[in-house]
């Protein structure tokens, strides 16, 4: 069970995962060692899954962000998942409920690369039933993880 100090630590790490143990300790009224122990416990319990950075895909030339919904034959699901997991253009891959089993988020440089990706990496998949794709026009909010 999390207490208010754990919740505060999680909130601050979600805002800035680079905050020092010392600065965080000052905020919560504990020592730096105690804060480190709490963070280690949160990691060991699987509450904190990873520490990461957010990289601007657009600033690295990936100007097109597209979302694909793939309906696949169940017998081919595992091989399609493995093929998509190995593809560097695939940023997110979820298996979902509903008629479209796979939700895929891709990042590409331009429409020519999008077209190549669709033909080489999607339409060629054995067991693909249906594909829907949508291109992101504008991002209004982007948040990974859980609000505490």
| pTM, 2 dp | 0.78
For residue 41, what are its two tokens? 């416990």
Topology classification of domain 57-135: Alpha-Beta Plaits (3.30.70)
For residue 102, what are its two tokens? 């796979």
Topology classification of domain 4-45: Arc Repressor Mutant, subunit A (1.10.10)
Burial of 124 (0-12, 13-18, 19+ CB in 10 A): exposed
Main-chain dihedrals φ then ψ at residue 47, nearest 5 degrees: -70, -45
What are the structural domain ranges in the chain? 4-45, 57-135
Q: What is the pLDDT along the chain (148 residues), one digit of tens a residue?
A: 899 999 999 999 988 999 999 999 999 999 999 999 999 999 999 999 998 888 889 999 999 999 999 999 999 999 999 999 999 999 999 999 987 799 999 999 999 999 999 999 999 999 999 999 999 999 898 777 666 6
CA distance 45 to 63: 37
User: What is the pLDDT, as a whole number, of residue 148?
Assistant: 66
């Amino acid at each position: 069970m999390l207490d208010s100090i754990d919740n505060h630590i999680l909130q601050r790490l979600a805002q800035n995962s680079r905050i020092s143990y010392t600065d965080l300790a000052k905020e919560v009224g504990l020592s730096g060692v105690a804060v480190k122990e709490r963070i280690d416990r949160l990691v060991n319990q699987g509450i904190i899954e990873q520490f990461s950075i957010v990289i601007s895909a657009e600033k690295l030339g990936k100007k097109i962000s597209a979302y694909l919904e793939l309906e696949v034959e169940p017998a081919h699901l595992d091989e399609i998942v493995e093929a998509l997991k190995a593809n560097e253009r695939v940023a997110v891959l979820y298996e979902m409920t509903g008629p479209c089993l796979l939700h895929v988020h891709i990042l590409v440089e331009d429409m020519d690369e999008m077209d190549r990706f669709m033909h080489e990496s999607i339409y060629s998949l054995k067991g693909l039933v249906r594909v829907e794709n949508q291109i992101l026009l504008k991002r209004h909010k982007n948040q990974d993880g859980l609000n505490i």
